[in-house]
Chains A and B, each alone.
Chain A
Amino acid sequence: MSGSDVQLEEILIHTIAGMLDGLRHVAVGASSPVPGAAALLARARSGGATRVSVLGSEEHNFFSDGGKELFDCAGQGRIDAFFLSGAQIDGKANINLVSIGDPDLPKARFPGSFGSGYLYYVVPRVILFRLEHTRRTLVEQVDFISAPGFSEPNVYRPGGPFAMITDRCLFDVDKDNRRFVLKSVHPGETVESIAENTGFQYDVPAEVPTTPLPDAETLALMRGRIATEIAEIYPGFAKRVFGLEKAA
């Protein structure tokens, strides 16, 4: 299969799923169709060993104790991976889900912080995703900190950023130096194009590979079973990416 047949979303889903293989329990929050599909892909490949809880799903959700259970479960360390995004994300991995400008009279207002003010602290492997990689979104300093990338030593912080995926590239997180490190660039992007479109400083190793494409088997699984599963929660996404209508 040639690269041109593979959609960007499929590369992202494949890449994220690769970071979830072998985990016990992956949870997916609101407005997260690409991570949701990636978690379901990781589950399918694990033969069911990886549990997946998708917020807003009735079929792919273990919780039976209401809206609080996801957070209680995460607080106990029972969730290995979660996904967060941000209207802005900065070079210190701070995320902003609230507003641009003065929060009291903002230039732009977004839905809000959701569970990020907690889950970013307690889930060990938080994968950041931002599917608009520009200097407008990846900034030097966010206007509002919904949740900080890193904390003072006395703050309870078993969780935090593990990686960041965008529509252009994948970053690793160097926890010691509190910086992003360019890990791979998606097809069509270069080290230079990433630099041009990123508003914060990050590290660039000598060799930066192209993000691998999913193989034919993975693509078939994604376009078949995973497309059907994600359509329950994100019918618009399933239709747009996989050409699938939600089953009645």
Chain B
Amino acid sequence: MTEMVTSLDALAARVTDGATIALPPDYSGCANALWRAVIRRGVKDLHLVGVPVFGYHGDLLIGAGCVKVAETSAVTLGEHGLAPRFTAAVKAGSIIVKDATCPAIHAGLQAAERGAPFSVMRGLIGSDILARRDDWKVIDNPFGDNDPVVAIPALTPDLAVFHAAKADRHGNVWIGVRRELMVMAHAARDTLVTVEEIVDGDLMADPATKAGTIPGLYVTALAEAKEGSWPQGLPATDLVADQGHLARYAEMAKTEDGFAAYLAEYVTGREAAE
């Protein structure tokens, strides 16, 4: 049974030190209100997995000192440029980066969701991405002739964490076409979700919504969080990214002092509002 949690802090309490966490990119569904609650808890040593990249929320977590490992194909603030806290942490050597390429992350999660030990993919051979990943192996295509392919082991996050438009009281979560969230939920041991609203009825009853719905089977706990993706938008809703705020973040986070001021103003200082 999906647990219906009534406070963000209670959901945030399930994000424990050292957890491996699958994160969606900024244009999917980011649980930013939840991440602010997690930062206020002072969680440490997270292993973030960008599916296949992450942006603002990961940079925020890195800047707040919550992250040990960033496994991702990129970290970006999109039009607002480099993710400043990620960049600073890599240059200081204070986080470990496991660089990937997008389909390798998907391949690892897809192996996990089908319970297989690994997936196979093309590409990568001759790159420094592959050269620096001792957890990936080049194998011979057993059906081919002198055809090297790359084996990507199953990637099983402890948690998938994201924000979505709506869920029902059975724990079914509607994600529309953002189906990387479905793969994340299938692959992860537990899935924590925040939603704009919890609706009456059953999202699985109508095939039109069922097709874009993650069954409650995969959803460990969920909570309502209005505008829970702010300052990012949310697909298939009227919530759009707050570009002015993101520009302000990109500017403030360029320095450690500026980032500390940002945290004080928008994260630790927002507790009453959330």
What residues of chain A have their CB less than 8 Å away from a CB belonging to chain B?
Answer: 30-31, 56, 58, 63-68, 70-72, 75, 97-99, 103-122, 144-148, 151-152, 154-156, 234-237
Contact assessment for B52 and A104 in the assembled complex, using a CB-CB cutoff below 8 Å? no
Question: In this assembly, does B48 line the interface, its C-beta being within 8 Å of a C-beta of chain A?
Answer: no
Known: A99-B90, A113-B101, A151-B126. 12 other contacts (CB 8 A): A71-B103, A103-B128, A111-B74, A112-B72, A112-B74, A114-B102, A117-B129, A122-B122, A145-B127, A151-B125, A156-B149, A236-B243
Residue of B nearest to A152 (CB): B126
Contact assessment for B128 and A110 in the assembled complex, using a CB-CB cutoff below 8 Å? no
Contact assessment for A145 and B128 in the assembled complex, using a CB-CB cutoff below 8 Å? yes
Contact assessment for B103 and A146 in the assembled complex, using a CB-CB cutoff below 8 Å? no
Report the number of A-B residue pairs with Cβ-Cβ less than 8 Å.
156
Contact of B100 among A31, A70, A113, A120 (CB under 8 A): A113
Given known contacts A114-B101, A115-B101, A155-B148, A30 and B53 CB-to-CB distance under 8 angstroms: yes
What residues of chain B have their CB less than 8 Å away from a CB belonging to chain A?
Answer: 25, 27-28, 51-53, 72-76, 78-79, 82-83, 86-87, 90-91, 93, 97, 99-104, 106, 110, 121-130, 132, 146-149, 177-183, 235-236, 243
Interface pairs (7), CB distance under 8 Å: A31-B79, A66-B177, A67-B106, A71-B106, A113-B74, A117-B124, A155-B125
- Whole-angstrom distance between the alpha carbons of A236 and B244 in the complex? 11
- Which chain B residues border A115 with CB–CB below 8 Å? 52, 73, 101-103
- Whole-angstrom distance between the alpha carbons of A71 and B109 in the complex? 14
Contact of B127 among A67, A70, A106, A147 (CB under 8 A): A147
The 6 residue pairs across chains A and B that have the minimum distance between CB atoms: A117-B101, A66-B179, A112-B74, A118-B123, A71-B103, A67-B180
- Whole-angstrom distance between the alpha carbons of A117 and B121 in the complex? 11
Contact assessment for B106 and A235 in the assembled complex, using a CB-CB cutoff below 8 Å? no
